[in-house]
Amino acid sequence: MLPMSLLSRFFGRKDDKPPKPAAAPSLTANAAIDNPLCLQVLFPEPLAIEAPALAAQLQKMHPSMRGAACEFLPGLDLLGLAGWDKHVVRLVGMNAPMPRQCMDACVTYAHYRQDIKERAHQARSHILLYYTGYDSSALEQYIALILVAEALAPFGAIAILNEHAHASLPSGVLKDIPVAERLEALHHFPLVTLFCGFVKYDVAGTKGVWVRTFGADKFGLPDLAALAEGHHEGTRYSQIFDRTLSYLLESGASLEAGHTTQMGQDTFMKVRDPEPAEYFLQGPGRVLVISFLDREDIDDRVRRA
């Protein structure tokens, strides 16, 4: 009876009979979520994870997760639910490598050690984590997903991917953060690290290097792009993009083509839509291109107006 009950809740249909008061918390996916946020976790060997063991790891991730529960359907590579409070995460594991296209987008050009990237490319299995809980905030949903992803680290996880954001990180990013401080740390986690990927690429016939984010659409925000002088400006632009997106997310302010925003005492940021020739900036969501003006540029434009 339990497998059928879990299968029903996996797809978001409530049980006919509620669990007994003494039973573990009943996990039920939110059927109202049509396109859930997703992270992917890579493993070097075929999956061998038991639900009680994962539940125990989840309960250690943060004091607020002491009631975390986990249930798997038997007889499959890995299919089940994990959750606590109003968070529910659907786990779909496969004893097969991630598709090559995803690996190229997320891992090949990632900014961490080459040996970890090589291990990621050799991964033999993976788990897809889908947020199917009841928190409406995209940031809170991503935080819940990364907590589950990090709870998988002791089971040999190599890396955490965000295919939609073209981003990845080595597994174990929370291991050196005190347990009680992990939620606060994740609330200050740079968006461009995993939730909104930061990508650099060269375009034939273009002087400089294009940089842009991917995945900001999941927060209801535009992705940002700019033409940098070279790869050496990557850190500068990733920080600018992160500060800008974080401000928009926290304040609820809007950023539209044609806006000019003061970034410092003598620096201004101008925003525009991509030009037709900048086809490589299109999608999957809205993209805005930024450039910088100094006060002399602004004063000159005012005089000419």
Determine the Cα–Cα distance for residues 231 and 274; give it in Å rounded to an integer.
21
pTM for the model stands at 0.89
pLDDT band at 51 (very low <50, low <70, confident <90, very high): very high
In this prediction, residues 270-276 reach a mean pLDDT of 94
C-alpha angle 268/298/229, rounded to 5°? 50
For 110-133, the pLDDT digits (tens) are 989 999 999 999 999 999 999 999
Mean pLDDT, the chain, whole residue set: 89
| Ordered strands of the 260-262 beta sheet | 197-201, 209-214, 223-228, 287-294, 267-272, 260-262
Pair type for strands 223-228 and 287-294? parallel
Determine the Cα–Cα distance for residues 269 and 198; give it in Å rounded to an integer.
19
Determine which of 14-18, 92-96, 102-106 has the lowest per-residue pLDDT on average.
14-18
More confident position, 147 or 21 = 147
